[in-house]
Amino acid sequence: MRIQPTPDALVELTASWDGERFPDGRPRVPDDVLEQLRLATTEEAWGVLRREGYDRQFSGEWRETHPGTILVGRAVTSQFLPHRPDYNAATVAAGAREGHREPDKQNSWIIATLQPGDVMVTDIFGKVRDGTVVGDNLSTAVAARTGVGAVIHGGVRDLQGIEQLGGGVNFFFRDAHPTAIRDVTLAGINIPVKIGEATVLPGDVVLGTPSGLIFIPPHLAARVAERSADIRVRDVFGKLRLSEQIYTSAEIDVGTWASHIEEDFQRWRKENA
Point out the annotated binding site: 135-138, 157-158
CB 150 within 8 A of CB 116: no
In the chain, alpha helices (H): 7-13, 31-37, 42-51, 85-97, 106-111, 136-146, 159-163, 218-243, 249-252, 259-271
Q: What residues contact 77, with CB distance under 8 A and at least 6 apart?
A: 121, 122, 123, 189, 190, 191, 192, 193, 200, 201, 202, 204
CB 162 within 8 A of CB 132: no
CB 208 within 8 A of CB 171: no
- 137-173 in b/e burial notation, b at 16+ Cβ within 10 A? ebbbebbebbbbbbbbbbbbbbbeebeebeeebbbbb
Torsion, Cα 37 42 43 47, to 10 degrees, reads: 60
Which residues is 207 bridged to in the sheet? 72, 214
Using DSSP bridges, classify how beta strands 193-195 and 170-176 pair: parallel, antiparallel or unpaired: unpaired
Residues in the annotated binding site for substrate: 135-138, 157
Residue 205 has φ and ψ, to the nearest 5°, of -90, 125
Residues in the annotated binding site for Mg(2+): 158
